[in-house]
Amino acid sequence: MRRRRAVQGFLFVLPFLAGFLLFFVIPFLWSAAYSLTGGVGGIEFAGLRHYRSLLQSRVFLLAVKNTLKFLVTGVPLVMLLGLGVSLALYQAFRGSSFLRAVFLFPLTVPIAALIAAVRFFFAEDGALNGLLALMGAEGRNWLGSGAAFGVLVLVFVWKNCGYNMLLFLTGLYGIPDDLIWAARMEGAHAGQVFWYIRMPLLKPTFFFTAVVSIMNAFKIFREAYLIGGENPDAGIYMLQHFMNNNFRNLNYQRLSAAAFLVFFFICLLVGGLFWLKNKGGTVEL
């Protein structure tokens, strides 16, 4: 009977396993082998030659620097704003449900409409430069200069702040009210309640939100591509631009090597977050 149930369970998950093997595992292993080959058709073993050339490439290093800069800037900012908004909307007041819906609205906006709004405000003949002209100030090329990085961070924060707010609200509602009331009865003020009760109990939420924000930051290529095209300003030339250009140039070996470097970096980053999460131990209710 147990064996029969095991076979039935395996048959249920077989379509998923087949799809995972076909579309993830096999391409992953194929790309790993491809990154170590060279020549037309990938028939020549090249060892780590592509990896060494990437680490010596000024374009690749520029893309790495911009991607790291975006991660360091955008991820903490979107997490802090998401936490701040969730703390404000955690309290019950008239209009709180409407405000939550407003912050979640960017998740439903198609990317084309989002970029159209960005161009409406930040194009050279857009609304922002028009407002500056009315104030007697000189406009600037927001999307074709170093200011494009700030615009890209703004788009990232606007689009993902609501989702982070929802995650933090879920964590806040999971904290028992008895702990909060007991702390207040003992004379703890709002700052102490937040720092010594809510923050430790939100540690799993912080970890999950950080991982999600990092993954979303690596998917910012669509916005960066639609803002700046294939050859954007140097300030928003990301790793995805580099890999997309190598794909268009049919340099698949170098593309595979770059993809694996990004994969290992993400693994190290998420592994570091796991270490930080487990460093202080587990908080028990």
Using pLDDT thresholds of 50, 70 and 90, give the confidence band for residue 80: very high
Directed axis angle between helix 96-104 and helix 58-90, to 10°?
170
Q: Which residue has the higher pLDDT, 232 or 283?
A: 232
**Cβ–Cβ under 8 Å, residues 145 and 138:** no
Name the token pair of 239.
Answer: 């790793």
Largest CA distance in the chain: 82
Name the token pair of 61.
Answer: 């290093």
Across 65-81, average pLDDT: 93
The model's pLDDT over 84-140, given as tens digits with 9 standing for 90+, comes to 999 888 887 787 788 888 888 888 888 878 888 888 888 888 888 888 888 877 777
pLDDT value at 229 more than 80: no
Name the strand (E) or helix (H) holding 164. helix 148-173
pLDDT of residue 42: 52
Q: Is residue 177 classed exposed, middle or buried when 0-12, 13-18 and 19+ CB atoms within 10 A define those classes?
A: exposed
pLDDT value at 65 more than 50: yes
* Most confidently predicted of 27-36, 108-117, 181-190, 260-269: 260-269
**Cβ–Cβ under 8 Å, residues 50 and 38:** yes
The CATH number assigned to the domain with range 51-279 reads 1.10.3720.10
pLDDT value at 154 more than 80: yes
Q: Among the residues of 35-124, which ranges form H helices?
A: 49-55, 58-90, 96-104, 111-122
Tell me the pTM. 0.84
Tokens 């857009």 correspond to: 126
Give the separation between CA 176 and CA 201, rounded to whole angstroms. Answer: 10
